[in-house]
């Protein structure tokens, strides 16, 4: 008989438990000490509304218990077996490996692998030795799969984020694009969906799963964006590498909870792959995704407007994305002089494909833009007027109904205001007025 073991280390020992008993894997943030509990239990941990007795595997198998003294920041492996609900303490997850189970094996099983010995926390060991408080598992956390569903083939896109392998059902994936981290901007928000970029001339909000997992983001960022969507909404998830497009059967996937970020996991070449739950994906698409305007959705497109919020000096301004031709890094373009008497024209922005007049926002707005790594050049077109302006940085990107945009009919450098989804107001920059004024075609 062959079984899959989830192998993990604790101190200098390697242990394993069958994957069909494992419900989830999470980082330990807090442990509540329990007086009078068994010698196996360190305390109680909570994850996604479920409370688990945290078990020291070393005490269970009779090895050195020093690694169990400081559990905060380590890994908990949530287990459910015949009514016993508990979590095993681990330093890190190593792999998933298929092993041969022999009928004559005892409650303490050892599996030899080259120079390593894996100690299995077997069903017999759990039944004979483990003494944990009786805690009922919340029924809503179980995700039951019928025998017919187990025979269904599913396809997953596997990608790497940091040290983790993540999987998304391929049916949720619209496309995968390479991105240059230099062209990705961070927006100030507490959400893990905290970036914005332009892909194929369209604005895209991006999420960094490192933040959702509490691991912090890397300075360099990912090399790819996995674009997911539902209906007319889409969102990008940053990935370090694209690993595989894998067809598999549901029977090979250990089912967890749809109420958590990861609903299940499976073995991929000996490594643990975490599957993002559909409930989690649907939630972030609903909360953070932008609507995609297509020709067959013209009615919807007239009702929703994509708004880019930028900072110029110390002030924030809103710009309609329909007027944005591109956003360039200041250091990647050439700015040449332009013979003019207008005090509002700073020069010409030159790239390999186009050139535009660069308007002086210091003179126009009374705001000074410091030149640094965050400085951008926003290239725009408003009706028949084109040009470029310096911006300090990108602040936000969102969609709002047309009713949330208030227009000022008087010609001015601001054309009105935009009320964001969270209730904040930003002045709407009048790009056409800027271009006309710079060319001295409107009255001061």
pLDDT, tens only, 115-134: 788 898 888 888 888 877 65
In a shared domain, residues 134 and 157: no
Half-sphere CA count of 162, side-chain side, radius 13 A: 14
Assess if residue 285 is contained within a domain. Answer: yes
Same domain, 157 and 252: yes
Which CATH number characterizes residue 348's domain? 2.40.50.180
Residue 296 lies in a domain: no
Indicate if 176 and 159 belong to the same structural domain. Answer: yes
Read off the pLDDT band of 303 (50, 70, 90).
low
- Answer yes or no: is 99 within a domain: yes
CA distances to 96, 165, 249 from 244, in Å: 17, 10, 16
Task: Examine the domain organization and report whether 315 and 370 are in the same domain.
Answer: yes
| Average pLDDT across the chain, whole number | 80
Q: Are residues 373 and 270 in the same domain?
A: no
Band the pLDDT of 257: cuts 50, 70, 90.
low
pLDDT at 318 over 90: yes
At 420, the pLDDT band (50, 70, 90 cuts) reads confident
pLDDT in the model for residue 298: 42
How high is the pLDDT of residue 136? 47
322 contacts: CB under 8 Å, gap ≥ 6: 305, 306
Identify whether the C-beta of residue 350 lies closer than 8 Å to the C-beta of residue 358.
Answer: no
Q: Does residue 353 form part of some domain?
A: yes
The answer to whether position 60 is within a domain reads yes
Q: Could you tell me the pLDDT band of residue 295, with boundaries at 50, 70 and 90?
A: very low
Residues 287 and 309 in one domain: no
Same domain, 264 and 386: no
Last residue of a domain, one of 139, 159, 194: 139
Nearest residue to 230 (alpha-carbon basis) of 296, 160, 278: 278
- Which pLDDT does position 142 carry in this prediction? 46
Domain end residue (candidates: 105, 121, 139): 139
Confidence (pLDDT) at 296: 43
Its domain, for residue 200, covers 147-291
Reported as a pLDDT band with limits 50, 70 and 90, residue 307 is: very high
Please answer whether residues 158 and 165 qualify as being in contact, where contact means their C-beta atoms are separated by less than 8 angstroms.
yes
Domain stops at, among 81, 115, 139: 139
Measured in whole angstroms, how far is the alpha carbon of residue 125 from the centre of its chain?
Answer: 38
CA angle 404, 204, 420 (to 5 degrees): 20
- Provide the domain count of the chain: 3
Shared-domain flag, residues 124 and 159? no
Asked whether residue 297 is domain-assigned, the answer is no
Instruction: Tell me, yes or no, whether 152 and 277 share the same domain.
Output: yes
Q: Is residue 23 part of a domain?
A: yes
Return contacts of 316-319, CB within 8 angstroms, 24+ apart: 316/395, 316/426, 316/427, 317/414, 317/426, 317/427, 317/428, 317/429, 318/417, 318/418, 318/426, 318/427, 318/428, 318/429, 319/378, 319/380, 319/428, 319/429, 319/431
Helix (H) or strand (E) holding 298: helix 298-303
Does 444 fall in a domain? no
Is residue 284 located within the same domain as residue 390? no
The verdict on 362 and 408 lying in the same domain is yes
What is the per-residue pLDDT across 126-181, written as a single tens digit (0 to 9) for each?
888 887 765 544 544 444 555 665 566 678 899 999 888 899 988 889 888 888 77
350 in the same domain as 321: yes
């Amino acid at each position: 008989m062959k079984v899959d073991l989830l192998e993990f280390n604790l101190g200098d020992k390697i242990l394993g438990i069958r994957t069909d008993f494992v419900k989830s894997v999470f980082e330990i943030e807090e442990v509540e000490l329990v007086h009078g509990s068994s010698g196996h239990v360190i305390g109680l941990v909570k994850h996604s509304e479920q409370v688990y007795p945290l078990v020291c595997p070393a005490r269970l198998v009779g090895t050195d218990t020093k690694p169990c003294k400081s559990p905060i920041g380590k890994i908990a492996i949530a287990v459910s077996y015949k009514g016993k609900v508990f979590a095993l303490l681990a330093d890190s997850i190593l792999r998933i490996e298929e092993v041969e189970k022999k009928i004559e094996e005892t409650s303490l099983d050892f599996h030899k692998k080259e120079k390593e010995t894996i100690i299995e926390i077997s069903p017999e060991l759990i039944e004979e030795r483990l003494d944990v408080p009786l805690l009922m598992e919340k029924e809503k956390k179980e995700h039951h799969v019928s025998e017919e569903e187990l025979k269904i083939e599913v396809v997953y896109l596997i990608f790497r984020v940091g040290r983790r392998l993540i999987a998304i059902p391929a049916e949720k994936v619209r496309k995968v694009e390479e991105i240059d981290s230099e062209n990705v901007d961070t927006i100030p928000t507490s959400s893990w969906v905290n970036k914005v970029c332009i892909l194929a001339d369209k604005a895209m909000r991006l999420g960094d799963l490192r933040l959702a997992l509490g691991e912090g983001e890397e300075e360099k960022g990912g090399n790819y964006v996995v674009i997911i969507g539902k209906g007319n909404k889409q969102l990008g998830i940053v990935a370090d590498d694209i690993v595989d497009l894998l067809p598999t059967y549901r029977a090979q996937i250990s089912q967890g909870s749809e109420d958590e970020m990861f609903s299940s996991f499976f073995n991929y070449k000996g490594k643990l792959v975490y599957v993002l739950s559909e409930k989690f994906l649907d939630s972030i698409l609903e909360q953070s995704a932008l609507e995609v305007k297509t020709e067959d959705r013209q009615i919807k497109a007239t009702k929703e407007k994509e708004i880019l919020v930028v900072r110029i000096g110390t002030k924030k301004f809103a710009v309609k994305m329909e007027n944005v031709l591109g956003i360039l890094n200041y250091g990647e373009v050439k700015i040449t002089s332009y013979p003019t008497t207008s005090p509002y024209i700073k020069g010409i922005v030159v790239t390999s494909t186009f050139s535009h007049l660069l308007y002086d926002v210091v003179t126009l707005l009374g705001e000074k833009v410091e030149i640094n790594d965050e400085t951008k050049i926003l290239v725009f077109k408003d009706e028949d007027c084109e040009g470029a302006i310096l911006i300090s940085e990108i602040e936000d990107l969102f969609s709002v109904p047309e009713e949330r945009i208030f227009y000022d009919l008087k010609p001015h450098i601001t054309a009105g205001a935009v009320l964001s989804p969270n209730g904040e107001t930003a002045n709407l920059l009048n790009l056409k007025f800027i271009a006309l004024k710079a060319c001295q075609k409107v009255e001061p």
